[in-house]
Structure formats: C-alpha cells, structure tokens
Structure 1
Amino acid sequence: MSLDGQHNAHVTDHVSDNAFLGVVTDGRFSQGLRVRLLDPAAVERLRVGSFVVIEGIERRYFGMITDLSLDTTDAALLADPPIRSPFLSRIVRGTHAYATAEIRPSLVLEPESDQPQPARSIPPHFARLRQATADDFALVFGQEDSTHFALGTPPAMEIPVPLDLAELVKRSNGVFGQSGSGKSVLTRLLLVGLVLADQVSILLFDMHNEYARAPTDQPELVGLLELFGPSRVQIYTLDDRTERSASARTIQIGLDQIEPDDIELLAEELNLNPTFATVAHHLRARYGPQWIRQTLEFDTEAVKEFCASTGVAEASVNALRAKLDRLAKRPYICETLDTSVIDEIIGKLQRGTHIIVQFGRCDSFLDYMLVANLLTRRIHDRYTEDVLEAQQAGGQSNLRPLVIVLEEAHKFLTPEAARQSIFGTIAREMRKYRVTLLIVDQRPSSIDREILSQLGTKVIGPLSDQHDIEAVLTGVADRSGLRSLLANLSPRQECVIVGHAVRMPVAIRTRQYRREEILALVRGWGKTMDDERHLRLLLGQ
C-alpha cells in the first residue's frame, strides 16, 4: 500500500462524520484555538460557522469554527510545490502540507455537571476536535417545546437549533440584513414562534402590508392572519379601502390627540427648523388640546399677538403652521374624536390578541413615523403608569408583556432621535415596564450604538457594508470571529444568531416559510402540547 493510502487508511480508522477531525496544536484563551485537521479532505467538508466539540482530558468544549487555513512545515514547498508529481503531492498532503481550523470555545461542560457553562479555560495540547452530534445540539441549545422555537438548522445538518423564547422576550431584540436577504422571513418565523409560545402580545407596525397575508407576488407564503385567524390576530388600518378583512378596524386620529412630542420625531420628514419644539410647546400650553386647530386658524394679527406675548419669531410660527397643515390633510386625521383607538388596542393586547397596524396607501415615512410614535408613546405611558401603581401598592403589574415590532428602525433610532424618542426609551429600559422592541432593519450603522449594545438577541443576515457589520456587532464578544462568519453567509436563507436566546453564537440555515410547512409546524406544535383545546386556540378556531 502507498504511503498516501496508508495515511488515508489511518485517518479512516479514526475519522467519520461524527468522529474526531483533528487535534489542538496551539492557541490562546483570548484568541481561540488552532486545530490541525487529520484528513486532508476535511477542510473541504467543514465551513466557517460550523458548531464543533473539543474533547479535553476532563472537560468537553463547545465552539464554532471561525476560520480555515492551509499551512506547511517547510517553506520550500511554497516556493516549489510538487504539482508535477501527483504521487509526491499525495505523500506531502496531510503531512508537510496540512489544513488548520480556528476554533473559538464558547461553552464548557464541567465534570459532574449536566449543563454547559461559559468557557473560562482551554483544552490541552492534542485535545480532539469532532463534529457536533444531535445530542450535543440538544445539550447546548435544547429542544423545541412550548418555550423553545427553531428558526432553522445548521447549514450542513438537519438538527433544529431552538431559540429560548422565555429569554428572548425579556429584552429588546433585532433582526438585521441587507435588502433581499430574507429579513421578512426571519421576522415572520420569530412572530410565529412568539404567537405559539403565547407569553407576550405583539404590536406590529406593518409598513408594507406583508405580514397579515401572503404578499401578492409570493402566494406560497402565509400571513399571520391567515395562519391564526381573527381571534388571535386583529388588523387595524389607516386605509380601509385596501383592507378586505371583515374584522379589520380603521384607525382615526384627532388633531386634539396629537402632542408636540409626537411631532418632534418628524423633524427630518417635515423639514422642521430647530425652534419648532419651543413654538409647539408654547402653543400647546396656551390652547391645550386644540393647539393645532387654533394654530391653523391664525390670521396675521393672531400670529403677531401670540409672538408678542411669548417672544417667539413670527417666521417660526408661520413655518410651523405650514407643516401642521400638511399633517391635518392626512386622510386618517380628523379635527376631533370622542373615543381613543388606544384604549381599544390596549384592551385587545391584554386579552392576548396580536395587533397588526397596516398603512395601505398611507405608506409614506411621514405616516409611518407619526402613527407608530403616537400609538407607542401612549401605550408605553399606560404600561408605565400601571407598573408604577402596582409597585406603590406593594405588588406586581398583571399587564401582559408586549413586544412592539418596528420596521425601518433606523428612522426612529438614529443617535439624535434615540435620545428623545419613545423607542429609544423602550430599548434602554429593557423589560422594566413590560414593553420591549423587535427592531427590523437593513442599515444598523444608522442606529444609535447604545441602543444596539442593549439588544438582548440579534438575528443577523447577510450584510455587505462594513459599517453595518461593525455596528451590528456592537456589544458582542469575539467580534473578529463573528465578522468573518458574517462575511461568509450565503446571500439568502442563512443567518447568525447571537445573544441571550442562544447559549452561544450559531449560524443557521433558515427553515422554509411556505404555507404547507408552516401549517404543519403549527399543527405539530399543538400535538407536542398535547392539548387539543390549545391547538384550536392557536389556529383561531
């Protein structure tokens, strides 16, 4: 037998799909481990992001491949590779020329422990590297159950990788990825998991009308309303001409319900000058809830009288009047309302109904930002008041936790806006007042870094811009390894999950989001719950 054959036979004795692939040769705790691969072909089968296990003498380490490289023991091979002799190439390959893998251990299973803990040590020389098995995945990530939901499987395996939904909803979270990378599918899957787990209510601002029903250009998908029915999912719309659901409710907003703070977030969209806030607050203080109507009715003399008594400039008042007139002409705005849609929405959220706010043809950023900001500010005020009253009474609030889903989040969470907007407040408060955010965005570099660092879990799809990659890794350990991993994601249907909902960073291939598969998932979930009544509830029956 040739030397090459003897070497391959030796490897075959020790290497199989789930056997060891190589041995640790060097490394540092701060930089990761270097593993020499025994099988020359293993470097072709492995990929950056693979979940692997290193068997130490006393401990088992769980980690992720962050890099793959080719090395030699003799620099002369680089200057004069044996390409003219296939026989010599086979002899040298795997001995003097070999492949290595960089491994970042994240967790360790200590002796006499049944739960992995964060790794604070490293394995010794020649500890063996092997591919992870289904049992390893179950030990680290758990299995799907009433509070664990899988967004997908590892790229080269068919083993579900569940998120811990109970941990997920304790903090605000984010879904990021460039346009066309599948953010909407990831968000839909997350929302399906949250509805199934039934631990929180969801308020979803659906700017593009794509979550309630399958988009017209993607009929193979399924919307949340189609999946769970009107008993679980309720539509509110700004444009009843585009919503065909009999159970849908129309949102109307009275001018007397709009506060100066509601408009402050719209400074860029309305091209407001820096003095508008001062002028608006003066108007609100003088005229109360009717401040917008009174301002729009100003004549020249009224403007002069107001400016004389307050000291503001006439030009500022006239500029603000022109912007307020633009708001007043929106089709969902009326002069005054006796009822508030906020009370109705909060009541349904507390009963476990999930609310989707659709915008129909009122789909400009002005509409989106005004309505999302106005509704969220009042809902948060209501939740905050209830929690504080319960604390003063020595008890705990009974309010059902709420997750607010915000698309195009960079519009609300720029460094300037985040300091004054309700969304920045919610992201920083985490779950103190039982309200958290799920932000969905393709431009994380435009979002305030403090907000990004506060997110509990990030689901990150492909990002091509280096500024976006750097931003989305704000507050994350081992940024260099994850940066390499993000750079190697497939353009679609792959993502990296990092944060509190998973015990260690992991790359996955997103599960299919087609009508048949999702319906089967929901029905299968009901069976695992072993509760036919619960299944009927989930399906809106």
Structure 2
Amino acid sequence: MNNDPTKLGTVEDVNGASISVVLDDDAVKGLAFVDGRAYRIGQLGSFVRIPIGYVSLFGIVSQVGASAIPERIAAETDKIGRRWMSVQLVGEGSHKGEFRRGLSQYPTVGDAVHLVTEEDLTHIYGRPDSPKFLKIGYLASAESIPALVDIDSLITRHSAIVGSTGTGKSTTVAGLLSAISDPGRFKSARVIVFDIHGEYAQAMRDQSNVFKINPDKKRSELPLYVPYWALNFEELLSVTFGDSVGESERGGIIERITEKKLEALKNKPRKGVSESTLNVDTPVPFSLHQLWYELHLLIISTHLQTGNQSLSTVAFETDQNGTPVDIGDAMQVRPPKCKPQNTSAGAQPKVYLSQSNLNIRRPLEGLAYKLRDSRFDFLFRPGDWLPDKNGIPAKDLDELLRNWLECKKPVTILDLSGVPREILNILIGALLRIIYDSLFWARNIPEGGRERPLLLVLEEAHAYLGKEDTGPAAQAVRRIVKEGRKYGMGAMIISQRPVEIDTTILSQCGTFFAMRLANEQDRAHVTSAVSDNLEGLFKMLPILRTGEAIIVGEAVHIPVRAMISPPPKNRRPDSQDPVVYDDAGPGGWNREREPSDYEEVIELWRKQTSISPHIITFNEEEQ
C-alpha cells in the first residue's frame, strides 16, 4: 500500500533523456489529492519528479497508455492492465528549491516517480517578484502560478512566435511588448516593430511612436523617411536601376555614384570620412536627381557634332534666338527638350543619338518613373534628408537614428503597410542593415546595443525569410540572429507559416512561443528547430486554445504550457476577425442595411489610406 499520495510509479526504462514509467495500482484511478488539492494523473504536458538523493529530476509527460496483456495472465495478476507513461527529462532541482536546466545524473530502473505539486511548480518557474522576470500569463494547468519569462534571454537570445491565423498571435505579441516596454520597470527600453499590415499602432498607442509613409496627424503618426543615400550600392541599385544591369554597366554606375559622393563631400565635409576613405557604400549624401539628369544628358539626349568635334555637346532644342527652350530640371525629374536625330549629308551640324558605352537607357527611364512616383517619395524625397543639387541635405543620419532609437516612448513602430510591394523586401533589408551597422560600430559607446540592447520585432516573417530567399531582408536577419547577440541586438520572429521560414534562422531562436498549429509540416518544422527533446509535448499543438502557447527555450526555466494574458480590448492589434453574426447586438450580417457611400471608398483608395476623415480617431476620443 502506497502511503505517499504524490507517488505515481517507478522507472522501468531509461533511454537518454526519455524514460518510461509504470504506474502503481493506487495511481491508476487518475486522481490524487495532496494537501487538499486534486491533481489529474497522466495528463499530457504535466510534470513529474524523481528524487535521487539531494537532487530531484523533473520531466514532462509526453505520452500515456495501457499495454494489452493476455486475459489469462490478467486474471492472475492485474485486472486493469499495465499503465505507463513516457517522460522527457528537462532539468533538476536541489533540496533548497533551486531549479536548473540540464541533468547532472540520470535515474535508474526502480526509482520512484512523483507528481509535481503547485509548491514544486512555484520553485521551478521562479519568483514573480524578481525584476528579471516578466509575467506574461499563467500556467494552463495551474491558474494560481504565473507564467514568467527571463527578459535577458528573451531579448538577446532571439525568439519566435508561431501559430496559425486566429490563434491569438498578434494579441500575444502586443501583450509581450506592453510588458517589455513598461516604463515603471524598464525606463530605457528600445524596441522597433516592423509592422507589415499596420496592426500595432492602436495596441501600442501609449507606448510607441508610429512612423508611416502616409501618416495621419490626428493619430500623432510621424512620416517614415528612408534616405536613398543611406542604402549600400546593392540595395540602391535594386530600387533604382534594377538588378538586371550588366557587370560593365554596374561598374559605370559605381564610378558615377562615387564621383557624386566625392563632390558632395567637398561641398560639405563630414566627420569620419575623407576623400581617400570614401567608397560607393559610405553613407554620404549625394543628389540622385542630379545623377539622373547628368546620365540622361549623356545617354538619352541627342548630341551635336561639328567638324572633328566629339559628341560632347547636348543638342538642346532652341528658339529663334538660339536659346534652349527647356534644359530640364533635375529636382523635378523633367528631361530637357532636345533636337531630333539628323545625320543626313546636308545637315550642319549633325545631330546624333548618344554613343555612350553605358547601356542603361531602359533602366534610366525606369528610374525617372520611380523618382516621379509619389509612392516612392519616402525613399527618393525623404523630407529634410533630401539632398539639394550639391548633395547637401538639411539633416544627417544621426537625426534619423535618434528618431527611431531615442524617442520619448520605448517602442518605435515602422508601419510598412503603404510600401510598394516590389521593394518591400529590399526596404526591410535596408532598414535592418542600417540599424545593425549603426549599433555595430557604436558597440563600445552608450548609444550602442551593449549598454542598451535593442529588440527587433519582425511581423509576417515568412513573407521575406523563406528557405531559399537570398534577398536583402533574409541576409540581414541571418546576420542579426547569428551575430547580433554580441552587439546587443535581439530578434523576435513572428509567423503563421514557420515551414516557409529558413531553418537556419529559426534554429538561432533561443525561445519559442508555439501556439496552435494545425498544419503537420509547420509542427514538424518547429519541432526540428527546438533544441529540447520535446516531440511529445509538441504533439499538443493542434489542440491548444486561442491565446494558449507552449513556451520552450532559454527564457523559461522549464518548458511551459501557458495562457497568455491579453491586453485590454481597446489595446489589441487591428487584426481581429470580422463579425459575421453579432450576438451582442445588430452588427455584421444581422444589422439593418444602411445607405452606402462608395465615393468615399474610391477617395480612400486614391489617397492610399484606410483612415476616413469622418471617423473619430482614438486620440480624439481621449481628449
């Protein structure tokens, strides 16, 4: 007869970190009472304890079952069959209640196995009053015990939040960001959110500054500017001339951009760079509009040739007095009016098309289109960061970084919902590289990341971090997850399709928040990326509730199944499911049909904004 109500059974088999446990006869009834509390026995995801001297090993139940035995033997021995559990060992605790991951020893056959009480769980999961831990919810199996994460490991060792659509992923992110940016605890927090769909502005409105291509002043949004001259050559080439430019043309473009940067540097010297150290990637302002104009004169305009002179004189269209009709305007991207080609025998002077060896006529015409397209103004006309013809802008990059990294609020949201899709990948890569390079070179001063780490939150990561993706965004993220920890940069990868994300990137994430995943390939991808031997635990992913997550990795003492506490309803991301039938009142499809104004629909479409001037914003509601 077993007098210890916590004893479940004994170890029967040990295979590395996996053990098999045979349940005692007294334990098979499925319910145990300890200190007045009832505990379910054999629940998947529950914990067990194996005392070995002064140390207790802890494990997670990953499988339960009952072996079939012949009826004749059962009649003589066990009328209810042989009950067993599979357990994955995850750590050990001392007699003082301290818990640590990993094992210093293994159990042997016959060792007693006990259920874990709430008192044991409190020692395992840490103290909620410790400033190092963030409370993000509570244990799914014990609502009285908070779910805690170690903020040091969460930020610097990278993390991933994965889950199918509708599992509460965005709400979980909003809750985490609210806890991380709590001004009462973390006065110097720095977080940058790459918000692809514009979901987080409302959720984080009290703790964030929102930068957007088409900002709404009523919502206190700020314009998002990314100066083209802060991009390196490969990034700039992709968004200007395109990647199809040949090698010889690339060399010519490099030479001319470098020349324009040298000219601008002579006009206004800048600290940290000289004419001898400058190269095409040095973030020195120059006028792209002036470069376009000069290349247009060289390649697209017609030229005069008189006698033995070379084709160096542009054949401007002139009036009766010989004055050019229109020489064009670089800043307005207006090409000059030139005379048509005329190479007939009697023509004097003869008018020739350009004979430049730089074969970029079509890419140059494409650049002119982009320079005129208002959708690209955030890049090619970046406000105070737009250089004049001499390559001198009103502000330098230090002011831009100060806006992103040193705002009065701890969270910076880069709302990329208005960015043209064809350059989204390039832009994300450029932004990440700019941030990485600045913090890398500032690693030994207070503005760097070693003294004040930075968290980069990457929403919808599967859209630009694919397995075979070699774009700028994927390259930048791979660099950050591999090297960023040393310089105080952490990444939080968020995705509904983890199977589409590069395994190299996922495997660098030290902590996983795995929410409900219905797709088998997604589950397998996450399981393969997690270092812990917890395949059995991840089999629970298809049945998790909305807002529930399995948290594993370095930010938690032990893998935990937790309910994440959502923020208040008026502080949740703009990603809630639309209501088809509203039980609470007339809404969705059960509302009365009202007069429609599709004229306003077209107005918003043309303005490229979803914010109607007729709807009261949350700032106005609070005033």
Q: Tell me, yes or no, if structure 1 residue 55 matches structure 2 residue 47.
A: no
Deviates more, 1:27-36 or 1:478-487: 478-487
Cα distance, 1:340 vs structure 2: 5.1
- The equivalent residue for 1:34 is 21
- The equivalent residue for 1:144 is 128
- The equivalent residue for 2:60 is 64
**Mapping of 1:48-447 within 5 angstroms?**
48-74=44-70, 95-110=79-94, 114-145=98-129, 146-158=131-143, 159-196=145-182, 197-198=185-186, 200-213=189-202, 223-225=203-205, 229=206, 232-241=207-216, 244-246=218-220, 248-263=221-236, 272-273=243-244, 278=250, 281=254, 284-288=257-261, 289-291=286-288, 294-295=291-292, 298-299=295-296, 302=299, 313-314=359-360, 317=363, 321=367, 324=370, 329-335=375-381, 336=386, 338-339=394-395, 343-346=399-402, 349-350=405-406, 353-359=409-415, 362=418, 365-366=421-422, 368-387=424-443, 399-414=451-466, 415=468, 416-417=470-471, 421-447=475-501
AA aligned to 2:211 is: Y
- Give the direction of change, closer, same or farther, for the CA distance of 1:500–1:478 in structure 2 (3 Å limit): closer
Taking the aligned partners of 1:482 and 1:309, their CA distance within structure 2 comes to 70
Query: Number of paired residues?
Result: 471
Cα distance, 1:497 vs structure 2: 1.2
AA aligned to 2:44 is: V
- Give the direction of change, closer, same or farther, for the CA distance of 1:60–1:255 in structure 2 (3 Å limit): closer
Cα distance, 1:103 vs structure 2: 0.6
- The equivalent residue for 2:275 is none
CA contact (8 A) 2:10 2:113 kept: yes
- Give the direction of change, closer, same or farther, for the CA distance of 1:113–1:492 in structure 2 (3 Å limit): closer
- The equivalent residue for 1:468 is 522
Taking the aligned partners of 1:396 and 1:250, their CA distance within structure 2 comes to 25
Higher fraction of helix: 1
- The equivalent residue for 1:527 is none
Secondary structure of residue in 2 paired with 1:421: helix
Taking the aligned partners of 1:141 and 1:266, their CA distance within structure 2 comes to 49
Provide, for residues 369-424 of structure 1, a one-character-per-residue CA deviation record: whole Å limited to 9, x for no partner.
4543333322222211212578xxxx997752111111122334334237973222
- Give the direction of change, closer, same or farther, for the CA distance of 1:477–1:251 in structure 2 (3 Å limit): closer
Cα distance, 1:463 vs structure 2: 2.1
Provide, for residues 221-253 of structure 1, a one-character-per-residue CA deviation record: whole Å limited to 9, x for no partner.
xx222xxx3xx4222222123x6334x322234
- Give the direction of change, closer, same or farther, for the CA distance of 1:488–1:101 in structure 2 (3 Å limit): farther
AA aligned to 2:442 is: D
CA contact (8 A) 2:299 2:361 kept: no
Deviates more, 1:45-54 or 1:338-347: 338-347
CA contact (8 A) 1:495 1:510 kept: yes
Taking the aligned partners of 1:265 and 1:50, their CA distance within structure 2 comes to 52
CA contact (8 A) 1:303 1:314 kept: no
- The equivalent residue for 2:316 is none
Q: Tell me the TM-score normalised to structure 2 length.
A: 0.64
CA contact (8 A) 2:430 2:473 kept: no
Deviates more, 1:116-125 or 1:58-67: 116-125
Taking the aligned partners of 1:189 and 1:147, their CA distance within structure 2 comes to 17
Cα distance, 1:360 vs structure 2: 7.4
CA contact (8 A) 1:205 1:358 kept: yes
AA aligned to 1:339 is: K
CA contact (8 A) 1:426 1:437 kept: yes
Secondary structure of residue in 2 paired with 1:497: strand
CA contact (8 A) 1:176 1:183 kept: yes
- The equivalent residue for 2:329 is none
- Give the direction of change, closer, same or farther, for the CA distance of 1:483–1:271 in structure 2 (3 Å limit): farther
**Mapping of 1:15-30 within 5 angstroms?**
15=5, 19-30=6-17
Secondary structure of residue in 2 paired with 1:140: helix
CA contact (8 A) 1:153 1:510 kept: yes
Cα distance, 1:313 vs structure 2: 4.9
- The equivalent residue for 2:343 is none
Taking the aligned partners of 2:444 and 2:232, their CA distance within structure 1 comes to 23
- Give the direction of change, closer, same or farther, for the CA distance of 1:367–1:186 in structure 2 (3 Å limit): farther
Cα distance, 1:356 vs structure 2: 3.1
Taking the aligned partners of 1:138 and 1:517, their CA distance within structure 2 comes to 30
Secondary structure of residue in 1 paired with 2:142: coil
Gaps of 5+ in 2: 32-39, 262-285, 302-310, 313-353, 387-392, 573-623
AA aligned to 1:174 is: A
- Give the direction of change, closer, same or farther, for the CA distance of 1:341–1:133 in structure 2 (3 Å limit): farther
- Give the direction of change, closer, same or farther, for the CA distance of 1:431–1:265 in structure 2 (3 Å limit): farther
AA aligned to 1:138 is: T
Secondary structure of residue in 1 paired with 2:471: helix
Taking the aligned partners of 1:57 and 1:74, their CA distance within structure 2 comes to 38
- Give the direction of change, closer, same or farther, for the CA distance of 1:507–1:113 in structure 2 (3 Å limit): closer
Deviates more, 1:406-415 or 1:426-435: 406-415
- Give the direction of change, closer, same or farther, for the CA distance of 1:367–1:420 in structure 2 (3 Å limit): closer
Q: Tell me the TM-score normalised to structure 1 length.
A: 0.73
Gaps of 5+ in 1: 1-9, 83-87, 214-222, 519-541
AA aligned to 2:431 is: L
- Give the direction of change, closer, same or farther, for the CA distance of 1:468–1:240 in structure 2 (3 Å limit): same
Cα distance, 1:104 vs structure 2: 0.9
Cα distance, 1:102 vs structure 2: 0.8
- The equivalent residue for 1:217 is none
- Give the direction of change, closer, same or farther, for the CA distance of 1:21–1:150 in structure 2 (3 Å limit): farther
Taking the aligned partners of 1:100 and 1:309, their CA distance within structure 2 comes to 84
CA RMSD of aligned residues (A): 4.1
CA contact (8 A) 2:171 2:567 kept: yes
User: % of aligned pairs identical?
Assistant: 18
CA contact (8 A) 2:429 2:472 kept: no
